[in-house]
């Protein structure tokens, strides 16, 4: 069984702010299932100037009751590859689970691009692919579960992003105000 989902939306913030918030989105109150996050790779591509980041996320394994017997209670590990091109204003994030892959492979691609018509807006595209090989008549259940989980997760991650965006903006304003105060003091 292979299933694809796609959704587009936008944020009313500049791409710089959105990409910053994306890279700093954990922890937030809408992502309490994310327990730990570690950067295992961080480098600048000398040819393209793009920033490559790989993260290892540990999440609680919140599967539905009917799937608990086949999925052990261990935490789930997710790998996230992010490529940020500052020149074109593009951030592409790819995540996939690296545990429980015999049951379910979930890959998610998120693309954040600066809106060419509005510098204060960022376009966001989410693509998710779910592959399951469980069989035993479970596939339709998995399918409907994953569809509801997909929209649930998207709504949650969007709320989390908005929370972090608000924080980032306030912090940015705070820093600007500090600089202005300092400049005023020096004069």
How far apart are CB 97 and another protein at their closest, in Å?
A: 9
Token pair, residue 66, equals 């009917």
90 contacts 112 by C-beta, under 8 angstroms: yes
Q: Given the DSSP bridges, would you call strands 90-97 and 122-132 parallel, antiparallel or unpaired?
A: unpaired
**71 lies in the site for another protein, by CB under 8 A:** no
Question: Could you say whether residue 27 binds another protein (CB under 8 A)?
Answer: yes
Q: How far is the CB of 40 from another protein (least distance, A)?
A: 5
The span of 16-24, 64-72, 128-136, 150-158 binding another protein (CB under 8 A) equals 16-24
CB 113 within 8 A of CB 97: no
Give the residue, chosen from 36, 74, 151, 176, that forms a contact with another protein under the rule CB under 8 A. 36
Q: Which long-range contacts (CB under 8 A, 24 or more apart) does 95-100 make?
A: 95/57, 99/74, 99/75, 100/61, 100/71, 100/76
Phi-psi region of 100 (alpha: psi -120 to 50; beta: other; left: phi over 0): left
Tell me which of 33, 52, 121, 141 binds another protein, using CB under 8 A: 52
**How far is Cα 83 from Cα 79, in angstroms, rounded to an integer?**
13
Residue 67 beta carbon to another protein: minimum distance, rounded to whole angstroms: 21
Contact flag: residue 103 with another protein (CB under 8 A): no
- Binding interface with another protein (CB under 8 A): 16, 19-20, 23-24, 26-27, 34-44, 49, 51-52, 54, 56, 58, 77, 79, 81, 84, 86-87, 96, 98-99
């Amino acid at each position: 069984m292979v299933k694809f989902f796609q959704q587009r939306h936008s944020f009313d913030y500049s791409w710089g702010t959105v990409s910053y918030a994306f890279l700093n989105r954990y922890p937030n109150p809408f992502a309490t299932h994310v327990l730990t996050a570690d950067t295992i790779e961080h480098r600048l591509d000398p040819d393209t100037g793009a920033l490559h980041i790989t993260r290892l996320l540990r999440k609680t394994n919140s599967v539905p009751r009917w799937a608990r017997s086949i999925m052990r209670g261990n935490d789930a590990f997710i790998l996230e590859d992010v490529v940020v091109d500052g020149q074109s204003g593009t951030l592409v994030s790819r995540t996939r689970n690296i545990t429980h892959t015999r049951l379910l492979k979930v890959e998610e691609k998120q693309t954040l691009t600066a809106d060419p018509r509005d510098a204060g807006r960022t376009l966001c595209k989410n693509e998710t692919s779910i592959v399951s090989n469980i069989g035993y008549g479970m596939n339709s259940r998995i399918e409907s579960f994953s569809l509801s989980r997909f929209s649930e997760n998207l709504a949650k991650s969007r709320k989390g992003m908005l929370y972090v965006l608000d924080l980032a903006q306030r912090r940015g304003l705070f820093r600007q105000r500090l600089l202005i105060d300092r400049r005023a003091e020096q004069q």
